[in-house]
């Protein structure tokens, strides 16, 4: 894809014109960010891989309605992955046959990774996961984009179809709920 600064809008436009290399560049570039995000929401690496993959397949399937934020498809991917992660079996159903047919590395390695994930995760992440599950889907997206991924509230609001003010209010309430949840479980 050459060197120097890559203009993602241009890459996206080429991907939409059936340029497979452009689309796989997006996959290579954003896969890990989406995967890390999904790991915070689901229980094991296997699910996180499928949710991540499904969000890229959805990016292609729903390309006509994808909204770029800050000239990037990443926020759209994060929000979509968040929705899919809320109900993994439903969200990945469309791609079930595909995923089942694709090869995987050694399955025991996967089990080991899952075990490691649980140790690594520790209590605090577990509490955060539980707290996030209490929020409405759109509020989870807001928290993810603004608090965890450092997007501006205005940018997140654009993507989620909210007014600036509404996004700020909801974010404030969502943070309050998470704080309350975390306080409750610790006391």
Looking at the Cβ atoms of 117 and 148, the one nearer to another protein is: 117
- In angstroms, the CA 48 to CA 54 distance is 10
Count of residues making up the chain: 187
Measured in degrees and rounded to the nearest 5, phi and psi for residue 175 equal -60, -40
Note whether 61 binds another protein by CB under 8 A. yes
Residue with Cβ nearer another protein (52 or 181):
52
* Residue 152 phi, psi dihedral angles, 5° rounding: -70, 150
For residues 69 to 108, the per-residue mask of contacts with another protein, x marking binding by CB under 8 A and - elsewhere, is --x----------------------x---x---xxxx---
In three-state secondary structure terms, 106 is coil
Among 67, 111, 130, 185, binds another protein (CB under 8 A): 67
- Quick check: 51 and 91 in contact, CB under 8 A? yes
Tell me which residues in 116-175 interact with another protein (CB under 8 A). Answer: 116-117, 120, 158
Q: Calculate helix-pair angle for 153-160, 164-186, nearest 10 degrees.
A: 100
Q: Are 166 and 180 spatial neighbours (Cβ–Cβ below 8 Å)?
A: no
Q: Rounded to the nearest whole angstrom, what is the least distance from the CB of residue 132 to another protein in the complex?
A: 18
User: What residue ranges bind another protein (CB under 8 A)?
Assistant: 9, 12-13, 15-24, 27-28, 31-32, 35, 39, 45, 48-49, 52-53, 56-57, 60-68, 71, 94, 98, 102-105, 110, 113, 116-117, 120, 158
């Amino acid at each position: 894809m050459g060197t120097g600064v890559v203009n993602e809008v241009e890459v996206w436009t080429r991907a939409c014109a059936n340029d497979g290399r452009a689309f796989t560049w997006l996959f290579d570039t954003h896969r890990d960010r989406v995967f890390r995000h999904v790991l915070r929401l689901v229980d094991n690496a296997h699910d996180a891989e499928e949710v991540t993959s499904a969000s890229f397949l959805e990016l292609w399937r729903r390309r006509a309605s994808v909204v770029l934020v800050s000239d990037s498809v990443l926020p759209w991917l994060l929000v979509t992955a968040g929705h899919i992660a809320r109900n993994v079996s439903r969200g990945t159903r469309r791609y079930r046959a595909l995923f089942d047919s694709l090869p995987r590395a050694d399955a025991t390695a996967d089990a080991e990774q899952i075990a490691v994930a649980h140790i690594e995760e520790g209590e605090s992440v577990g509490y955060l996961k539980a707290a996030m599950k209490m929020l409405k889907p759109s509020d989870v997206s807001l928290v993810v984009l603004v608090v965890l991924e450092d997007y501006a509230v205005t940018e997140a609001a654009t993507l989620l179809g909210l007014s600036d003010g509404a996004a700020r209010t909801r974010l404030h309430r969502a943070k309050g709920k998470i704080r309350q949840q975390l306080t409750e479980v610790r006391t």
